[in-house]
Chains A and B, each alone.
Chain A
Amino acid sequence: MNLRKVLQRFLIPPSVVTLIYLIKYGCKVSPRAEIELSLFLKIGKNTEIGSFSKIKATEGHLNIGHDVSIANNCFISSESGGVEIGDYCMISPNVSIIGNGYKYDRLDIPICLQDKVSRGIKIETNVWLGAGVVVLDGAEIGAGSIISANSVVSGRIPPNVIAQGNPAKAIFKRRQ
């Protein structure tokens, strides 16, 4: 862990982080959330981040749109591939958005010591992720789609559908 990270994590009180994001982006971060102070992280106006959520953007861009609601206890991390979360998305409690994986092609080296892989995650506008949803690296979710609770998204979900399962698949097309 480098010195900058240590200083940020242990010496800057969470309420100051909340204030910084409120002034810089006009977003409401709970003082009980753990949001990294990072140049990679951009958050849109009126976005809300609930208690005990953790957002890491150490090695890749993480763009969160405006009017996004991130509930309690969510985990979002971006790596080199980046993570995009569109405007008006609703992210329910206990959602994990994990922007990296590991190579595992060598049997003689522990997986954690093999290279990281990060293809990136794209969540378009107006997406609703149900409680406990897991979004894995490489996933793309089309605008207006709904992912039902506890689903695992690892591929492409088209726009305006309701998707469910592991791996999540579209089961219904939204309509008027």
Chain B
Amino acid sequence: MEEKLDQILMDVLGLKREEIRDDLSPDRLDAWDSMNNFKLITMIESEFSIEFTMSEIEKMVDIGCIRMMLSEKNCP
């Protein structure tokens, strides 16, 4: 799961692997705007074959929250 998520973050937000940290959030990263947030969610859903509700999406305020959400959904 970690590897797949890191790859999505690198593809969508243009991050390097060493820049990925759990406390990275839209406030700290210019590339993480509302449109890229939508792309990120869509790619995660497609990669892990899941679907988030709007309230779940609202809780994803940083990368750590996304990881936690994926673990809760038992994503491989």
Contacts and interface: CB of A to CB of B under 8 A. Distances in A.
Interface of A: 148, 162, 164, 171-173, 175-176
Contacts of A162: 35, 38
B7 interface: no
Interface in B34-76: 35, 38-39, 41-42, 51, 53-54
Interface residues of B, number: 8
Contacts of A175: 51, 53-54
A176 B35 contact: no
The 9 closest A-B pairs by CB, nearest first: A172-B38, A171-B38, A171-B39, A172-B42, A164-B35, A175-B54, A162-B38, A171-B42, A176-B54
Interface centre among A148, A162, A172, A173 (most CB of B within 10 A): A172
Q: Is the interface of A mostly helix, strand, loop or mixed?
A: strand
Q: Is the interface of B mostly helix, strand, loop or mixed?
A: helix
Contacts of B38: 162, 171-172
Interface centre among B35, B38, B41, B53 (most CB of A within 10 A): B38
Interface centre among A171, A173, A175 (most CB of B within 10 A): A171
18 contacts: A148-B35, A162-B35, A162-B38, A164-B35, A171-B35, A171-B38, A171-B39, A171-B42, A172-B38, A172-B39, A172-B41, A172-B42, A173-B42, A175-B51, A175-B53, A175-B54, A176-B53, A176-B54
Contacts of A173: 42
Contacts of A176: 53-54
